[in-house]
Amino acid sequence: MTTDRLSDVTTGTDTTAPGADSTDNVDYAESRETTEGRVYHVSGGDWDDVLSDADHDERMVINMGPQHPSTHGVLRLVLELEGETVTQLRSVIGYLHTGIEKNTEYRTWTQGVTFVTRMDYLSPLFNELGYCLAVEKLLRVEVPKRAQLIRVLLCEINRIGSHLVYIATGGMELGATTAMTLGFREREEVLHLLEYLTGLRMNHAFIRPGGVAQDLPTDAHAKISEFVKVMDKRLPLYDKLFTGQPIWRNRLKGVGYLPVDACLALGVTGPVLRSAGLPWDLRKVEPYSSYDEFEFDIPTSTEADCWARYLCRVEEMHQSLRIIKQVLKRLDEPGPVMVEDKKIAWPAQLSISSDGMGNSLEHVRKIMGQSMESLIHHFKLVTEGFKVPPGQVYAPVESPRGELGFHVVSDGGTRPWRVHVREPSFVNLQSMPAMSEGGLVADVIAAVASIDPVMGGVDR
């Protein structure tokens, strides 16, 4: 909108510049007169300009989504087709925008966990871990060893659940309903276990700055061991039902090809990059939370197609079980689960009431019976939060979809000055045109599924 054609809609004053034609506003927007003055209507006609080059007799433009089942209702793909061949693909995002990054600026550092955990809602514990690692980097504190073990344990359980959703939804989009029923069946085992360990099935807010919210239940070892036995028994079913299945193999093999040089050029990470041959996994190349103390392999392939991504993710679930078994052997070692600094430690040392909500009466009596200064300190810590030294850091973790990095800036206050996330789904999504253009429209579905994007992370 040009500055010489402004209208004051509050007073109704026409501020058209002298010499300018007041009726010549149709060039950029339609207008109408109201009791409050002239109002302009700006439409989203830019897509007509973007797609003008696709106006050919032999080609047509179609929208896949945002209501298409394969895009889960929140992703729009604009496809230019010549027959059944995709000649051009564009992605349109923003249908699930939540403003989580901005919201964290208006909450304390601890409250920020409850926001970031809702970004990639299929792997919430990785969001919490990356955010907390950044805050701890600014605080210059080291998390107790037991808290690190619990973090590794929860993240690897979560990784299995996320990959199961990839198989379930990807299979459903390709018409393999058995993959959907089996994948969600196993995912329920994951969610039941996470609910038992953290109190919630999803969006746990269990990993906190300085450690974890509380220690694991007393019989957690037995519950986790039972989960490992179930998954060791059921994971081989996927090889029997899908890996050796000719229809599944032919549907994925040679589809969505993206070589390693294209991955590097586009910034693609995670299973998509490893399926192209580069064993880049932050748990190995830049270890965090004691990952360097565990033995596990990084599955790779050189086929760089949807088939290779499927095989990599299935093997990653086996490797996650391998890590969980190693953590179990060390869980009997007692120790704190939160830093000792009392100005950071709340609310890890809480005692929950019998209904699972709020503080127990014993905890309240203990606080009230100590001293007025102790009560005031507790109140201020809960309401205002703790201060974080000024500075900026970047803390990456290896999420199920790739490098999940948190750029966090502090101005020395009790709230973040800025939180910006390097979200792997957002970055990986730009590889769709390279995977799909020149292929069949039916293969677009397989290519999108192989990226495994979560739109909550894309539109954060």
pLDDT at 351: 56
pLDDT at 175: 86
What number is the average pLDDT over the span 110-115? 92
pLDDT at 356: 52
Express each pLDDT in 421-450 by its tens digit: 999 999 999 999 999 998 899 899 999 999
Express each pLDDT in 250-287 by its tens digit: 999 999 999 999 999 999 999 999 999 999 999 999 99
Q: Name every residue whose Cβ is closer than 8 Å to that of residue 174 and which is 6 or more positions away in sequence.
A: 251, 445, 446, 449
Q: Is 158 helix (H, G, I), strand (E, B) or coil?
A: helix
Q: Across the chain, what does the average pLDDT equal?
A: 85
pLDDT at 223: 94
| CB contact at 8 A, 398 and 125 | no
The whole model's pTM is what? 0.83
What's the Cα-to-Cα distance from 453 to each of 93, 173, 423, 447, 457, rounded to whole Å?
12, 14, 10, 11, 8
CA pair distance 255, 327, nearest whole angstrom: 37
* Whether residue 22 has pLDDT greater than 50: no
Cis peptide before 334 (omega within 30 of 0): no
Express each pLDDT in 40-94 by its tens digit: 766 655 655 655 555 555 778 888 878 776 666 788 889 998 888 999 999 888 8
Cis peptide before 347 (omega within 30 of 0): yes
Q: Name every residue whose Cβ is closer than 8 Å to that of residue 36 and which is 6 or more positions away in sequence.
A: 9, 10, 12
Query: Which of 47-56, 137-146, 382-391 is predicted with the least confidence, judged by mean pLDDT?
Result: 47-56
Percent of the chain with pLDDT over 90: 54
pLDDT at 12: 40
| CB contact at 8 A, 449 and 293 | no
Express each pLDDT in 393-417 by its tens digit: 999 999 999 999 999 999 999 999 9
Is the domain spanning 100-458 CATH 3.40.50.800? The answer is no
CA pair distance 190, 223, nearest whole angstrom: 11
| CB contact at 8 A, 331 and 323 | no
pLDDT at 1: 42
Query: Which of 135-149, 341-355, 443-457 is predicted with the least confidence, judged by mean pLDDT?
Result: 341-355
Express each pLDDT in 168-221 by its tens digit: 988 888 888 888 899 999 999 999 999 999 988 999 989 999 999 888 988 899
Domain residue extents for the chain: 5-43, 100-458
Tell me which residue of 256, 203, 220 sits closest to 431, measured CA to CA: 256
pLDDT at 26: 46
Q: Which residues pair with 80 in a beta bridge?
A: 61, 88
CA pair distance 430, 435, nearest whole angstrom: 10
* Whether residue 5 has pLDDT greater than 60: no
Q: Which residues pair with 394 in a beta bridge?
A: 407
CA pair distance 119, 198, nearest whole angstrom: 18
Question: DSSP of 41-81, one letter per residue?
Answer: E---THHHHHTGGG--TT-EEEEE-SSSGGGTTS-EEEEEE
